[in-house]
Amino acid sequence: MCGRFTQTKSQKEVLEQLGDIELPPLFHGRYNIAPSQTVAVIRSNEPERADESIWGFQNPKSTSVVINARSETLAERPLFKDLLATHRCLIPADGFYEWKGKQPYYFQFPKKQLFAFAGLWRNDRCVILTRAADANMQGIHHRMPILIPSNHWSRYLENFHPLENPPALTARPVSCRVNKVANDNPSCLDPADEQIDLSLFPAEQ
């Protein structure tokens, strides 16, 4: 599951990590990216540039927006089954949030590197692919987004090969300010009022 994420790096920082790639003006310190907002995506048919896309597919059977797709059942879902072969995309990020009860937690790579969510796109919209949670999630949630380190982006775009064991994540409880979409500033990453020892939570079995 992934319902909010961050993309706090500047254009300059992204280019330093990725090299020569064309970027939209979306890398300017975003701390609370939510569904239906515009995000940057790198599509498999244009890997040399990032474009703007709206996060979430319209559900043809309701008014809801579909923001995540279970990677294990893509072939069974009419909304996704024709997209994996030719409509893969990467959604750059440097952290994401997950909730245990009412408490949000913030996950990122240990050195705060830019990574990408594995995704699918259709027209001007995208979704994030998810998988069963691993030990990185520390018992917070039973699902997690598929994460692609930047040195594996080409591999994913050329052929769907997510890492079986992605790099370990750091996690910490953060301010409940992130619960409100209008709050999009560094205060979303402030420590929670009461810090929690994550070692007390068993890893998902």
Average the pLDDT over 124-153 and give the result: 90
Q: Which residue has the higher pLDDT, 141 or 135?
A: 141
CATH of region 4-192: 3.90.1680.10
Catalytic one of 2, 89, 126, 188: 2
Whether this model's pTM surpasses 0.85: yes
CA distance 101 to 4: 15
Annotated domain spans of the chain: 4-192
- Annotated catalytic residue 98: yes
Q: Is 89 a catalytic residue?
A: no
User: Which residue in 89, 98, 126, 188 is the catalytic one?
Assistant: 98
Q: Which long-range contacts (CB under 8 A, 24 or more apart) does 106-110 make?
A: 106/6, 106/171, 106/172, 106/173, 106/174, 106/189, 107/136, 107/137, 107/169, 107/170, 107/171, 108/6, 108/169, 108/170, 109/149, 109/167, 109/169, 109/170, 110/167, 110/168, 110/169, 110/170
Query: 162 falls in which pLDDT band (50, 70, 90)?
Result: low
Looking at mean pLDDT, say which of 55-64, 77-86, 111-120 comes out highest.
111-120
